[in-house]
Chain A
């Protein structure tokens, strides 16, 4: 299991579009479970609804955890998406 902490940089937070992008990317790692932890809330990175329910705002500190096959690659991809601001 690997994990890394990132800070949300895109101004609008993780609204529906970034959540969709993240979920779509994470679905490419079927053998790996990626989880986000924000404050007391957790969300599966593949579940758009859970990501939305977490209500992640700009500036939030998110702990990303990947567990399973290709976990390092999955984590790296997730971190890259956060750091790039999901292309916004």
Chain B
């Protein structure tokens, strides 16, 4: 606690001339009142006088420090008066007092003792006292104290300077694969926690709309450390040499305070960027499985826009042809020229899906050199090139693309290690010639060798699904629906989703329909529950309920996460059962969906849409009823 922080200019009087001790006290009390921390002047004066009756507060050397602890004081403050002519303050040494400080302290705490100690420490210096007495203005008076405090307590100056710094103490980056919900929930949780802990924090969100609230170079230089709560790769080179915690985006939502605490306490490890490898070095404490997941999600999140936009274009093409009354044959969707336009463009976007998935997995693993091998490897998977049929044979599809991305990425890492032994003079051409050339050669050989097997597996899975009887199809629908709502955007959800989108490319439209309805159920079930079973939720949860209707209808499963996170044991099983029912019914009714996203907006192109609605409603209502049964009643409505 610095003296200059307690002493406002309004509470300083230079060259006062009180005639008596009691007049001096009155003048000081008036100064204190001007400082604005005295709620009850009479009460405070009583305290000051009571203290003086126990013995004068004039301590010699011309100094008097009247003080009182009182409930009438709202916050610690000081008043000061110089009396060049001196006043008889009944000092122990009998000398007049010329430097008077009055302390006001609230009733609780040791503030008065700290302030006394501090004042005394600096007032022992005779030169300092002389400077105070000769101060020409209040500003000078304060400056003299300020300089003295800086000199006597040098440790604090640094921390005070740090506090003056306008920068943020803690920075954070949040990112999740889809970039719709998790990213922003983690950002909000971190900001809230920072506010609660009194720590300045700035959070950059790497959502689907690109990075927002981007951390500047200045921010990074001035901060204590950075929290990276991300399930996909984020730009890390800028954090080189700073303390960085790399963790899952869900940790940002669940334990923001712990993360901030770790940065502030300085426990976080210092991050060293290695250039080629985007996150390997940051992820020393990450398990291999988590890294794989992160790479996969980097591919999935970059693939998603192609899937959504292309899928809706294709869906539109089917819608246009439906309205035009085109025959539903193999040319359906290309019959009218308008439909052909949307279908063709949609297909162009769709054709990027698999290469982009592989390319961004490769990039996540091995940075830019990995992008080429992933992208080309994914394309080779899409065409199904083999040694005997280089132009393409059986496409190995998304399985091949996953293989290409991961194998290609790690092969490039190995290649870079091997190239470390090459002469330094070749460093310049490594990234522009050697890596791409060698990478292209390796991935071409690998994919041509592997494609036949991947093609066999992929075909087998498709065939297996195609040959499933109607009863086992229902089971599959149930499983997919449940998977969609186990973790709402996590690995299970994404596995089912990738399976669904991949099924579109092989004509498994019923699978996609089951997947989507499964993902729509959780938010709707929760929204219904907040409407019809209000007693099961907190006020905040009820208020946010209606938003979940929109989220659910738009097939944004992530809307259910806050509810599931708050009470996973009851909410997740309810959602799973509801979603499983919906998925199973969708399969039972032979509903089909050619668009991989869109929710209610693509219902027009859902095959057997009326029964699809029935499936959705049934699943949602069952989910709602499960929630009503499992969740406890809260009597405080």
Contact = CB atoms under 8 A, between A and B. Distances in A.
Contacts of B55: 16-17, 20-21
Contact of B110 (A13, A24, A52): A13
A12 B120 CA distance: 17
A81 interface: no
Contacts of B123: 49
A16 B120 CA distance: 11
Given A13-B113, A24-B92, A53 B124 contact: yes
Given A13-B110, A55-B117, A57-B113, A50 B92 contact: no
A54 interface: yes
B391 interface: no
B61 interface: yes
B120 A49 contact: yes
Given A24-B92, A49-B123, A55 B113 contact: yes
Nearest to B114: A55
B587 to A, nearest CB: 73
A53 B61 CA distance: 14
B116 A52 contact: yes
Given A52-B116, A55-B113, A16 B124 contact: no
Given A49-B124, A52-B120, A53-B120, A16 B110 contact: no
**In the complex, which of the residues A20, A21, A53 has the most CB atoms of chain B within 10 Å of its own CB atom?**
A53
Interface string A32-59: 0000000000000000111011110100
B378 to A, nearest CB: 68
B121 interface: yes
B566 to A, nearest CB: 43
A21 B92 CA distance: 11
B63 interface: yes
A84 to B, nearest CB: 16
B110 to A, nearest CB: 6
Contact of B117 (A17, A23, A48, A53): A53
Given A49-B124, A53-B124, A57-B110, A16 B117 contact: no
> Interface size bucket, A side?
10 to 19
A20 B51 CA distance: 13
Interface in B338-378: none
B60 interface: yes
A23 B93 CA distance: 12
Interface in B48-62: 51, 54-55, 57, 59-61
B394 to A, nearest CB: 80
Given A17-B54, A48-B60, A12 B113 contact: yes
A21 B57 CA distance: 12
B248 interface: no
> Interface size bucket, B side?
20 to 34
A15 B54 CA distance: 12
Interface string A64-81: 000000000000000000
B112 interface: yes
Contacts of A12: 113
Nearest to B119: A52
Contacts of B92: 20, 23-24, 48
A37 to B, nearest CB: 15
B67 interface: yes
B65 interface: yes
A49 B61 CA distance: 9
Contacts of B110: 13, 57
Contacts of B124: 49-50, 53
A52 B112 contact: no
A81 to B, nearest CB: 14
Nearest to B66: A16
A54 B113 CA distance: 10
B98 to A, nearest CB: 15
Contacts of A49: 59-61, 63, 120, 123-124
Contact of B112 (A15, A21, A24, A54): A15
Contact of A16 (B59, B114, B118): B59
Contacts of B59: 16, 20, 48-49, 52
A15 B113 contact: yes
B125 to A, nearest CB: 11
B163 to A, nearest CB: 22
Nearest to B124: A49
A52 B60 contact: no
Contacts of A53: 117, 120-121, 124
A54 B67 CA distance: 18
Contacts of B61: 49
A21 B67 CA distance: 17
Given A13-B110, A16-B67, A24-B92, A52 B54 contact: no
A16 B57 contact: yes
A16 B121 contact: no
Contacts of A15: 112-113, 116
Contacts of B116: 15-16, 52, 55
Contacts of B120: 49-50, 52-53
Contacts of A24: 92
Interface in A1-34: 12-13, 15-17, 20-21, 23-24
Nearest to B110: A57
Nearest to B117: A55
A48 B114 CA distance: 15
26 contacts: A13-B110, A13-B113, A15-B112, A15-B113, A16-B67, A16-B116, A17-B51, A20-B55, A20-B92, A48-B92, A49-B59, A49-B63, A49-B120, A49-B123, A49-B124, A50-B120, A50-B124, A52-B59, A52-B116, A52-B117, A52-B119, A52-B120, A53-B117, A55-B114, A55-B116, A55-B117
Given A16-B57, A16-B65, A23-B92, 10 more contacts: A13-B113, A15-B113, A17-B51, A48-B59, A49-B61, A49-B120, A50-B120, A50-B124, A53-B121, A55-B116
Q: Which 9 A-B pairs have the closest CB atoms?
A: A55-B117, A52-B120, A53-B120, A53-B121, A48-B59, A49-B120, A13-B113, A52-B116, A20-B55
